[in-house]
Amino acid sequence: MTVENTPQDRIAAVAAAQKTFFRSGATLPEAFRRRMLRRLEEALCTWEKPLCEALWADLHKSCEEAYLTEISIIRGEVHNHLRHLHRWMRPRRRPTPLKLFPASSRIVTEPLGTALIVAPWNYPVQLLLNPLVGAISAGCTAVLKPSPYTPHVAEAIGRIVAETFPEEYIAVVQGNRDVNTLLLAERWDLIFFTGSPALGRIVMAAAAEHLTPVILELGGKSPCIVDRGADIDVAARRIAWGKTLNAGQTCIAPDYLLIHAEVSERFTEAYAKALKSLHGDDAQQSPHYVRMVNDRAFERVTGYLEEGKILLGGRTDRADRYIEPTLLAEADPAAPVMREEIFGPVLPMQTFQNTDEAVAFVTEREKPLALYYFGDRSTAKRVLRRTSSGGACINDTIMHIANDRLPFGGVGNSGMGRYHGRDSYDAFSHRRGVVATPTWIDPPFRYAPYRFFKWVKGIL
């Protein structure tokens, strides 16, 4: 199945219609935003089964994993916005200095306008519709661009949006990177992009032409540190789960393992047991083990298997796009497997002798989207203080994304901007400072010829 490119004139017409609709003020009332959020939730309920079937067709993703990692996250986000929208929309009073007497000050939020949301293929439902919640909540219109690499999901999303929202409010544009180029040539009020750092640079360069603000949710190599104070069995189980979720095709998956030399052998044994517990003796037969998205991804990830010593796994099946969960040792730190984002179930492992060595290894590289540390709390605090990452977990992996009260986003090479919960509302909003000055008094000291300037200078 392939996705047909939306023609250029169609893209231009949709963008123009949305700008007109936004300027009409229809999206501004709270009641409208709430109604649209409820429509989205109802659509998710109605389309849950077709979405799960599409995810299975494109990624071999089970219904359970599809609901946990895609649909439930969006529904939770909708509930959070419905619960707090009134408070978020309310103007916030701010103190006013004496020099502005008798004025008052407040912050009001206003929608940025028409947003472009571009999603990747690895979580093609969540990473497209979760940002949409923020756009709806903030009062924006939005054009959605699904990934062509998950065509069944893209087709389902197109039908869902067409049946749920008027096109001048929310619309879907389909196609490959040529369509991305056409979309980026349009003028938007915000571009929300999730993908690789390389593509993020292209998006940012295009946005610069119109000084369009961007939110870039990128990726990178997220380190996982296992210190000698860690509970090895728990660490192995949680790392195995985080690394094999979606077959490692997760932007916040543990990308490489730094482990204290004293516990490396114990961890290898525990990791093997954890993988067997999660996926059985043969992960290829597990209904919960995802496949590589396409042949190109399969070839790229299997290439990493030659760059180290395979301790566990390593079996592949090109016809099925299957790669067995693999633990890799003795990889050169300069090798691609240690420099490039893997985006697959291969976990390279490096040993260290002390925590400072592990911290130095992390900080010498680009800032990652996530950092995971397993060990005692006091050392964990020191590691977090000396490193930088978009998000982090202590004695766990992945789970920081599950708390919609926490901001999610990258830093440096792993992205800019953040969303989830209130941060999603803010991402699509402008915080407008307003000073209101009454006319019952008009102090003369601010006007030329600046009488009483010595007195005025004292309060400035």
Residues identified as active-site = 217, 251
CB 191 within 8 A of CB 203: yes
* Closest listed residue to residue 222, CA positions, set 203, 199, 245: 245
Alpha-carbon distance 391 to 372, whole Å? 9
* Closest listed residue to residue 456, CA positions, set 95, 100, 94: 100
Alpha-carbon distance 387 to 222, whole Å? 12
The angle formed by the CA atoms of residues 333, 337 and 295, to the nearest 5 degrees, is: 170
139's CB contacts (< 8 A; 6+ apart) are 27, 28, 32, 33, 110, 111, 428, 429
DSSP 53: H
CB 261 within 8 A of CB 329: no
CB 112 within 8 A of CB 213: yes
* Rg over CA atoms, the chain: 25
* Closest listed residue to residue 232, CA positions, set 64, 375, 47: 375
Going from the C-alpha of 37 to that of each of 85, 91, 169, the distances in angstroms are 11, 21, 13
Report the greatest alpha carbon distance in the chain.
Answer: 87
